[in-house]
Chains A and B, each alone.
Chain A
Amino acid sequence: MLQFREINAEELNLIKEQLLFSLKFGEFEEVISSFKIIVAEGDWREILFISEGIFKIFQAFKEVRNPYFMGVHFGDIAKNKFKISLEGITLISEYIEEKTILSSSGEKKVLYGRNLTKNDLSALPTQIQKNDMSILVNNEGEVLALGKYLVNKEELENLKRNQIIIKNIMDKGWYLRKGR
């Protein structure tokens, strides 16, 4: 049974820190300025962004019935780690300038849930360190996925064409594979 409550300071800090660490994203305050943040706590904690209007109505009926979900699912906290969701990535993407641009083959592969090789990339962020997370977009700038670099940028030139460079962490093909 999920318990819905407002986010606490510790959880808020955890999200901020992990977004800064993994995605070098520091504009969290700006993103949340128009939302209330609710935690749906069960086996793990779902982080939901809701409007003030939804919050007021939720306050009125929460004693009677729990929602199944509400607003935008920004991510989850489990075992003291924050994991951003596909919706969360989409929400913050406009604030992140440096993304990884995929080729058309990369777009297809990533939406099938596959990892990416050198051939699948059209443009890379200026700085890449092994284990960096990056938002993956197509050549029209549309957000497709979140990936994790498995190499440093200086290693790229010497890699074989079929060697995996980016591990697919999550992608929008999920909506078709699992979300139906």
Chain B
Amino acid sequence: MDIDELCSRFGYQKYMIERYLELFDAARILNFLEGNEQRLIPSIKVNTLKISQEDLYKKLTKKGFELGPIPFIPDAFYIYKEPFSIGATTEYLLGYYYIQGVASMIPSLLLNANSGEIVVDMCAAPGGKTIQLAQSMNNEGVLFALDLSRERMKSLRSNLARCGIKNVIAIRMDAGNLTQLKIKGISKILLDAPCSGSGLIPSDPTRKMSRNYEDIEICSSKQMELITTAINNLQNGGELVYSTCSIEPEENEYIIDAAVQQFRVKIVDLRLKIGEPGFTNAFGRQLMSDLEKARRFYPYLHQTEGFFVCKLRKVA
């Protein structure tokens, strides 16, 4: 497989193709690159705090939208036909749903937050996953939503208000400083970490050229800081879901591998029927076998953005 030809044909930087050739065998690389060229089917998550899946289906189909269920995600739809933007309906303004990529629906689902718990969403804005967590908690308990960006906090606030979320304390801060808040009894944490975003190439092809290897290193360093903070603040027996929209092992398996070696945490079997197992070996580096329990998603295999998710439990 000629690297220069692949770079030229698909518009990637050379270092990316070289890395992907190491990660995927020659037979898969073309499927992977072609998958990144495909448009993903838009998807929405129903806000069951306000409406049932059935009622929303009726309302939107009456307006000419064509929807279909997402097999492995409850209360969610693929949007096959939009007579007008799915983000401009009365139902959207009433907070009956939010627009979210399919893979992004998975982390909150796996965290399985409950109403009596103290839960933290460490990088919350613009709020899709936070809303999903609030739903899972039946709008009760306490859900911390942290994010550093002033602009994104505005979106978070608007989205939570639109969807009728009541149980959130939103704090504009670097989630790496979570320890400063001295919150006791955190039982669940969602860390959808800031990342290089290489999984988002189908929706944002500029990422083929706008990121370099240093970005992966910078993100990896921040991710390690954040997962360390998350584990330190989690109570014993508590659970952490770590996810990124990156497919780079340095931002995913390497982080989990290091966390499990440094802290008293175990990888939890996700029992997900979809997704590929996490890498146990990447770029010649042997990683722990339990990483098979993590899940990877690719546009060409799962019709989702590229994504990684893993669940950890803190042990005493």
**Interface segment, one of B2-10, B16-24, B160-168:** B160-168
Residue A179, interface by CB 8 Å: yes
| Residues of A contacting B141 in the complex (Cβ-Cβ under 8 angstroms) | 53
Residues A87 and B180 in contact in the complex (CB < 8 Å), given A172-B94, A176-B88: no
How many A-B contacts if CB must be within 8 Å? Answer: 90
Q: How far is the CB of B288 from chain A (nearest CB, A)?
A: 35
Task: Find out whether the CB atom of B164 lies under 8 angstroms from the CB atom of A87.
Answer: yes
* Cβ-defined partner of B153 (8 Å) among A49, A68, A175: A68
Number of residues on chain B facing chain A (CB within 8 A):
32
Selected contact of A67 from candidates B90, B92, B118, B170, CB within 8 Å: B170
* Known A53-B141, A53-B142, A175-B158: A58·B93 in contact at CB below 8 Å: no
B140 within 8 A of partner (CB): yes
- State whether B183 touches A61 (Cβ < 8 A): yes
Q: Is B316 an interface residue (CB 8 A)?
A: no
* Chain A contact residues, majority secondary structure: mixed
For this complex, 12 residue pairs linking A to B, each with C-beta atoms less than 8 Å apart, are A53-B142, A53-B167, A61-B183, A65-B180, A67-B171, A87-B161, A111-B90, A138-B90, A142-B94, A175-B158, A175-B161, A176-B92
Q: 20 extra interchain contacts, Cβ-Cβ under 8 A, other than A53-B141, A143-B94?
A: A53-B140, A53-B142, A54-B142, A58-B169, A60-B182, A60-B184, A61-B181, A64-B180, A71-B167, A71-B168, A72-B166, A73-B161, A85-B161, A86-B161, A87-B164, A138-B90, A172-B94, A173-B93, A175-B161, A176-B88
Instruction: Point out residues on A near B: beta carbons under 8 Å.
Output: 49, 51, 53-54, 57-58, 60-61, 64-73, 85-87, 90, 107, 111, 138, 142-144, 172-173, 175-176, 178-180
